[in-house]
Amino acid sequence: MTERLEVISGSMFSGKTRELKRLVERQEIAGVKAQVFKPTVDNRWGKIGKVRSHSGEEKDAIPVKDSAELLSRVDADTKYIAIDEAQFFDAGIVSVIDKLLDRGVKVLVAGLPLDFRGEPFGTMPILLAKADNTIKVTAICTEILENGEICGEEATRTQRFVYGQPANYNDPIVQIGAAESYAARCPTHHKVSRRPGK
């Protein structure tokens, strides 16, 4: 089996986890032993042992606190690893993925390429650069325009809100949440308050 790294990237609400689930299930249909991992910090939905899309689709997953634990939990006969919310893992995830690829394990990663500020998020830029294949998914910008209609353009950014207002540039990068704190935005409607130089 040729080693291969595939990376799914996109804003929140773009269907990354749904696509990860679909690709894992294709491998399983083909009889390939697969394991799905997620960071323990992603405790949305109250389901620790599952990855879940915003549309409600679920897949069993192994929650791990860091990249070292992930590597230690890979079964010897596993040939396909999927990692959801990769942007939340420590920098060691890159070398862990390299080790898995060297063993002949195929690796699928899904994550946010940009944080709420619109800047590169964690190790995602490195993983995208190393990927043999990338799948870029987008959402729909849900900004309400002056005429009352939804923008509807391709959303490549994740907008964070605090009390209904765009988050401050200096707010913490990691804040776990869903529709109560985030929305999909196109570059035109993505806003960050107190951005340096603006």
Q: Is 19 an active-site residue?
A: no
- CA 108 – CA 131 distance, rounded (Å): 9
The first and second tokens of residue 192, run together, are 């960050």
- CA 94 – CA 53 distance, rounded (Å): 24
- What is the length of the chain? 198
Contact 134, 23 (CB under 8 A): no
- CA 49 – CA 46 distance, rounded (Å): 9
Q: Which are the contacts of 129, defined by CB distance < 8 A and separation ≥ 6?
A: none
The strand pair at 165-166 and 154-155 is best described as unpaired
The first and second tokens of residue 71, run together, are 């590597």
- Residue 97 phi, psi (nearest 5): -65, -40
Catalytic residue among 3, 28, 85, 154: 85
The angle subtended at Cα 195 by Cα 193 and Cα 198, nearest 5°, is 105
Return the amino acid letter for 83: I
Catalytic residues: 85
